[in-house]
């Protein structure tokens, strides 16, 4: 294949038509792995693209499948010792961020030359990160016994003003039920905003109006990036405020590693992608016109490096999450209760409960309902009735009830 001035026509919104005096590729060139790139000074050159080589796919694949093995084994261990569903359902959902991020990024890397298919894969990955932020906050609520138990500890205490921790604008205020409501609403809004932005991205991509790193006011990348940045920052800020308010209460659960790992995976990966897109736009990263003989759009190279880096990072995230969300305490509880349920049935039931998003929908309705000012929702507690001989009854671990909603506040107790 010879790429000459006659057959190289590039999208008008990104490049001008290039007139070349001679073919870029020789007649005998093997184009199966050839990339044609445009340098910062406008020069068109032929090169072999590392991200499209067997070496890049092998390296990223080793890290991805290692991360999948570590995390899937940890998820399996939690499902085998599914003794505290109210906590472990959130833990398993958080752990799934590694398979989702790793496998999604690897697929995006494998299809890097296929007409920006990575945009569709990355949309799935980005939607799940919103789900993870919500589940981490919900897990923290469960650790502390629910909203009522948290309010009994922090209600009325003044919020410490600190520019370092971002609470300087809250000087003179005290913790109230409105504070907890804000934390939940701020994380839940990201769960709504992110899927909407993903759908808009796919639509704009179909009409050629979305390219990574294209900050043109006539394109969609600039506006989607602004909305996304505001939404994710608000969500993580709310998560940080809650951690700041309850750090002493959460200390027995070793929250620092959990918080830093999740925040790093989500927040740093976003800024990492933006920096790479800017570098490509500035010419530091070459802009690819063709990859493996297929024409690609702007931002493809930056997105490819982002996916390659994420594949590697997920291995280290899997290791960190293995230590952050250990299963030891739940295995000890399992040993204290006789197992009367077949193991595979227990695992399938736990997995079915974990992937059911009904609790998130119910929580969203609860937190955005005007009636929220009239009550808070007590954590669901497992109640096991002992037998007269003091032993745990058969099937007792599955006996549960939800505590009544308890009046705690008046209608003017807002954050």
pLDDT at 395 over 90: no
Q: Find the helix or strand (DSSP H, E) in which 289 lies.
A: strand 287-291
* Predicted pLDDT of residue 338: 58
Q: Find the helix or strand (DSSP H, E) in which 381 lies.
A: strand 381-382
Residue 390 has phi, psi (to 5 degrees) of 90, -5
What number is the average pLDDT over the span 123-130? 82
- Cβ–Cβ contacts within 10 Å for residue 345, how many? 9
What number is the average pLDDT over the span 118-131? 80
On the 0-12 / 13-18 / 19+ scale of CB atoms within 10 A, 130 is buried
**pLDDT confidence band for 70 (50 / 70 / 90):** very high
- Contact present, 139 and 145 (Cβ < 8 Å): no
Higher-confidence position of 33 and 111? 111
- Cβ–Cβ contacts within 10 Å for residue 332, how many? 11
Question: What global pTM score does this model have?
Answer: 0.75
* Predicted pLDDT of residue 287: 67
Higher-confidence position of 129 and 377? 129
Contacts of 4 (CB under 8 A, 6+ apart): 20, 22, 23, 24
- Cβ–Cβ contacts within 10 Å for residue 157, how many? 11
**pLDDT confidence band for 400 (50 / 70 / 90):** very low
Q: What is the pLDDT of residues 270-312, one digit of tens each?
A: 778 878 878 877 777 776 666 666 656 667 777 888 889 999 9
Measured at the CA of 116, the angle between CA 114 and CA 119, to 5 degrees, comes to: 130
pLDDT at 208 over 60: yes
* Predicted pLDDT of residue 336: 65
N-term to C-term CA, the chain: 65
Taking each helix axis as running N to C, give the angle between helix 177-206 and helix 221-250, from 0 to 180 degrees, rounded to the nearest 10: 150
Q: Tokens 């009367």 correspond to what residue?
A: 340
Q: What's the CA gap between 402 and 383, in Å, rounded?
A: 9
What number is the average pLDDT over the span 231-258? 85
**pLDDT confidence band for 161 (50 / 70 / 90):** confident
Nearest to 264 by CA among 318, 189, 205: 318
Four-CA torsion 224, 230, 233, 234, nearest 10 degrees: -130
């Amino acid at each position: 294949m010879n790429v000459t001035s006659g057959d190289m026509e590039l999208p008008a919104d990104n490049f001008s038509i290039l007139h070349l005096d001679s073919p870029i590729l020789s007649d005998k060139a093997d184009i199966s792995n050839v990339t044609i790139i445009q340098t910062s000074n406008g020069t068109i050159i032929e090169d072999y693209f590392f991200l499209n080589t067997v070496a890049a796919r092998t390296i990223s694949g080793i890290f991805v499948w290692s991360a999948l093995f570590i995390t899937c084994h940890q998820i399996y261990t939690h499902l085998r010792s599914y003794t505290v569903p109210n906590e472990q359902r959130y833990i398993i959902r958080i752990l799934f961020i590694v398979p989702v991020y790793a496998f999604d990024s690897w697929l995006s890397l494998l299809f890097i030359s296929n007409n920006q298919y990575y945009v569709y894969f990355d949309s799935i990955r980005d939607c799940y990160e919103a789900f993870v932020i919500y589940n981490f906050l919900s897990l923290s609520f469960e650790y502390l016994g629910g909203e009522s138990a948290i309010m009994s500890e922090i209600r009325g205490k003044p919020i410490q003003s600190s520019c370092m921790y971002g609470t300087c604008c809250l000087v003179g205020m005290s913790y109230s039920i409105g504070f907890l409501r804000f934390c939940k609403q701020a994380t839940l809004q990201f769960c709504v905003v992110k899927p909407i932005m993903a759908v808009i991205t796919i639509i704009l991509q179909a009409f050629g109006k979305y390219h990574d790193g294209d900050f043109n006011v006539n394109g969609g990348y600039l506006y989607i990036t602004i909305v996304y940045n505001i939404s994710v920052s608000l969500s993580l800020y709310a998560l940080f405020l809650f951690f700041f308010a309850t750090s002493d209460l959460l200390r027995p659960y070793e929250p620092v590693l959990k918080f830093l790992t999740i925040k790093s995976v989500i927040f740093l990966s976003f800024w990492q992608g933006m920096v790479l897109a800017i570098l490509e736009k500035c010419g530091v990263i070459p802009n690819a016109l063709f990859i493996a003989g297929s024409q690609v759009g702007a931002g493809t190279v930056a997105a490819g490096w982002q996916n390659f880096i994420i594949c590697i990072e997920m291995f280290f995230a899997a290791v960190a999450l293995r230590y952050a969300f250990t299963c030891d305490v739940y295995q000890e509880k399992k040993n204290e209760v006789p197992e009367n349920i077949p193991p595979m049935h227990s695992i399938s039931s736990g997995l079915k409960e974990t992937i059911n998003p009904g609790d998130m929908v119910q929580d969203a309705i609860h937190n955005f309902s005007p009636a929220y000012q009239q009550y808070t929702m007590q954590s669901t507690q497992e109640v096991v009735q002992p037998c007269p001989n003091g032993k745990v009854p058969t099937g007792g671990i599955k006996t549960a009830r939800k505590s009544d909603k308890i009046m705690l506040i008046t209608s003017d107790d807002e954050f």
